[in-house]
Amino acid sequence: MAARTPFPPVFWLANFIEVLERFAYYGIYFSFGIYLTSLGFSRDQLGIVQTLFLLLSYCTPVFSGALADRFGFKKMLIVAYLAYLPAVLLLILTKSFSGIALTMLSIGFAAGIFKPLIFGTVRSVTDKTNSTLGVGIFYAMVNVGGSLGPVVAGRLRAISWDYAFYAAAIAIGIMLVVTVLFYKEPPRAVEPTTVGAKLREIGTVLSDLRFASFLLLLGVGFWIPFWAFFNLCALYVDRSLDTVRLYEVLRGTLGSGVADFLSHEEGGARRILGETISHTGYIIMILQVLVSRTVERFKPIPIFFTGLVVMAAGFVVIGAAASGDAALVFLGILLFAAGEMIASPRIQEYITRLAPREKAGLYTGTNFLAVGVGAFSGVLYTPLYGRFADAGNAGGVWYVLAAHVVLGLLAIALFQKLAGTMTETYEAAPGATS
Residues 162 and 238 in one domain: no
46 occurs within a structural domain: yes
**Which CATH number is 307's domain given?**
1.20.1250.20
pLDDT in tens, 273-310: 999 999 888 888 888 778 877 877 778 888 899 999 99
- Domain's final residue, options 134, 162, 193: 193
Q: What pLDDT shows up at residue 429? A: 42
Tell me, yes or no, whether 3 lies in a domain: no
Q: Which of 193, 227, 259 is the last residue of a domain?
A: 193
Pair 286, 360 in one domain? yes
Max avg pLDDT among 109-113, 368-372, 393-397: 393-397
Tell me, yes or no, whether 167 and 215 share the same domain.
no
CB 316 within 8 A of CB 324: no
- 199, part of any domain: no
Domains of the chain: total:
2
- The reply to whether 432 falls in a domain is no
In a domain, 170, yes or no: yes
Same domain, 392 and 341: yes
- Do residues 102 and 65 share a domain? yes
The answer to whether residues 209 and 88 belong to one domain is no
Are residues 278 and 233 in contact, defined by beta-carbon separation less than 8 angstroms? yes
| Same domain as 131, residue 216 | no
Q: Supply the pLDDT for residue 3.
A: 76
Residues 171 and 259 placed together within one structural domain of the fold: no
User: Would you say residue 225 lies in a domain?
Assistant: yes
Q: The domain containing residue 140 runs over which residues? A: 8-193
1 in any annotated domain: no
Vertex 19 angle, CA 14 and 25, to 5°: 120
Task: Kindly state whether residue 257 falls inside one of the protein's structural domains.
Answer: yes
Confidence band, pLDDT 50/70/90 cuts, at residue 180? very high
pLDDT in tens, 21-40: 999 999 999 999 999 999 99
pLDDT above 60: residue 73 = yes
Residue-wise pLDDT for 389-428, tens only, equals 999 999 999 999 999 999 999 999 998 888 766 555 544 4
Cβ atoms < 10 Å from Cβ of 130 = 18
Which of 2-6, 101-105, 116-120, 416-420 has the highest mean predicted lDDT (pLDDT)?
101-105
| In a shared domain, residues 259 and 345 | yes
Q: What percent of the chain has pLDDT over 90?
A: 60
Pair 22, 58 in one domain = yes
d(CA 158, CA 105): 25
Are 179 and 271 found together in one domain? no
Q: Whole-angstrom Cα distance, residue 120 to residue 131? A: 12
pLDDT interval class at 385 (50, 70, 90): very high
